[in-house]
A and B are shown apart, each in its own frame.
Chain A
Amino acid sequence: MKRLLPLFLLCTIAAAPRSGYDDASAETRAMQDDDSANPGFLWVREGEAQWSKPAGPQVKSCASCHGDAPVSMRGVAARYPIVDRTLNRPLTLDQRIAQCRTERQQAEPLPSESDAALGLAAYVGLQSRGMPVRINAAGAVVEAGRRLFETRMGQLNLSCAQCHDDRAGLKLAGAVIPQGHPNGYPEYRLEWQTMGSLNRRLRNCMVGVRAEPFPPDSREMAELALFLAVRAEGLNVETPAVRP
């Protein structure tokens, strides 16, 4: 029985993921709920402009191939990260947009965490808002992500799971520890006073435990993002979310 109890607890967490939205204050939730008060929409508008802005030698924009984003990008963010068969690794939505830009548009990559990159991701993400996260991946690649999630790292020797599984709902200093679901990225963080990607948030946590963060375009980062998305299945996409 003693050995079954933690397993049972794990199952209940897996069965009912709790969005960071439910841990946020009423004021923060109200900010996210009202599109005219949600600062994420400043980036969404930027992304909308980027969508039809031509770039590269062929003077092509996202819209040249993908057409109308509300139609073509509907539901896309809900199924990312995907496992790319040719690269044989997971790709996050941010990485896919960057790949499209450098390989198909043959344009200069957008700097990560730039207004343009975050805007595009937010604009694409918005088209899946309210749709449940559903990831088409299983087996070794998800297990690799799970391993990273459960591996202790850094000088503080903490794993993601120790806070976000075992101690979710408890407090770290004055703040509630959320389950750490990636369903609202890119999101507006009041702490940052700006928009940020999941990448930035993960880096934040890794620096917090005094570990060296994985490089933004690394396989590890994508595997971790993939596992987090699988773990969040059942939650709705909230992009652009507002979090404390």
Chain B
Amino acid sequence: MVRVLLNVPKQVRKGEPFDVKLLISHPMESGQRRDAMGLAIPRDIINRLICTFDGAEVFRMDLFPAIAANPFLAFSVVAERSGTLTIAFVDDHGVEQTETSAVEAV
């Protein structure tokens, strides 16, 4: 279950920053822990997240093992025109997921 709660305002003011909030269900296994049998639990984290607005990159983030499970991420974006905000992230298994939200700038 990789679920994403993406919170972006439907309508924003042109040229003014707005908040993008993102909650991702992910174990973010650090690779440092051992299971009941003493075997290392392999690392499994989201390692890169890219946010684009109509194809242009506006935010990029590298994630590291010290981030807790189910990470909550928030950042600001400025829109000069209406468009589609796309968030793509990839984890250690190479699983890639994309979420989109339409933003209307007025």
Binds B, one of A33-41, A130-138, A203-211, A229-237: A33-41
Q: How many of chain B's residues touch chain A, expressed as a range?
A: 10 to 19
Q: Is the CB of B5 within 8 A of A41?
A: yes
Interface: B68 (CB within 8 A): yes
Q: Is the CB of A36 within 8 A of B3?
A: no
B residues within 8 A CB of A45? 3, 5
**CB < 8 Å: which of A31, A36, A39, A190 contacts B25?**
A39
A residues within 8 A CB of B13? none
**CB < 8 Å: which of B5, B21, B68 contacts A193?**
B68
Which residues of chain B from 1 to 40 have any CB-CB distance to chain A below 8 Å in the complex?
1, 3, 5, 7, 21, 23, 25
Nearest CB on B from A244, distance (A): 13
The verdict on A194 contacting B3 (CB below 8 Å), with A42-B23, A42-B25 known, is: no
Nearest CB on B from A217, distance (A): 24
Query: How far apart are the CA atoms of A193 and B23 in the complex, in Å?
Result: 13
Nearest CB on A from B29, distance (A): 10
Q: Is the CB of B5 within 8 A of A42?
A: yes
B residues within 8 A CB of A194? 69-70
Annotate B60-77 by CB proximity to A: 1 below 8 A, 0 otherwise.
000000001110100000
Annotate A164-203 by CB proximity to B: 1 below 8 A, 0 otherwise.
0000000000000000000000000010011000000000
The verdict on A36 contacting B23 (CB below 8 Å), with A42-B3, A46-B1 known, is: yes
B19's closest neighbor in chain A, by CB? A36
Q: Is the CB of A193 within 8 A of B69?
A: yes
**CB < 8 Å: which of A37, A39, A42 contacts B21?**
A37
**CB < 8 Å: which of B1, B5, B23 contacts A115?**
B1
Annotate B66-105 by CB proximity to A: 1 below 8 A, 0 otherwise.
0011101000000000000000000000000000000000
A residues within 8 A CB of B7? 36
Query: How far apart are the CA atoms of A181 and B3 in the complex, in Å?
Result: 29
B7's closest neighbor in chain A, by CB? A36
Query: How far apart are the CA atoms of A31 and B1 in the complex, in Å?
Result: 21
Q: Find the residue from A31, A36, A37 having the highest chain B CB count within 10 A.
A: A36
B residues within 8 A CB of A41? 5, 23
B residues within 8 A CB of A36? 5, 7, 21, 23
A residues within 8 A CB of B3? 42, 45-46
Nearest CB on B from A117, distance (A): 13
B residues within 8 A CB of A193? 68-70
Q: Find the residue from B3, B7, B21, B68 having the highest chain A CB count within 10 A.
A: B3
Query: How far apart are the CA atoms of A193 and B28 in the complex, in Å?
Result: 10
Query: How far apart are the CA atoms of A193 and B25 in the complex, in Å?
Result: 10
Nearest CB on A from B83, distance (A): 21
8 A-B pairs with C-beta separation under 8 A? A36-B7, A36-B23, A37-B72, A38-B23, A39-B72, A42-B25, A115-B1, A193-B70
For the complex of A and B, the 4 pairs showing the least CB-CB separation, nearest first, are A36-B7, A193-B69, A42-B25, A39-B70
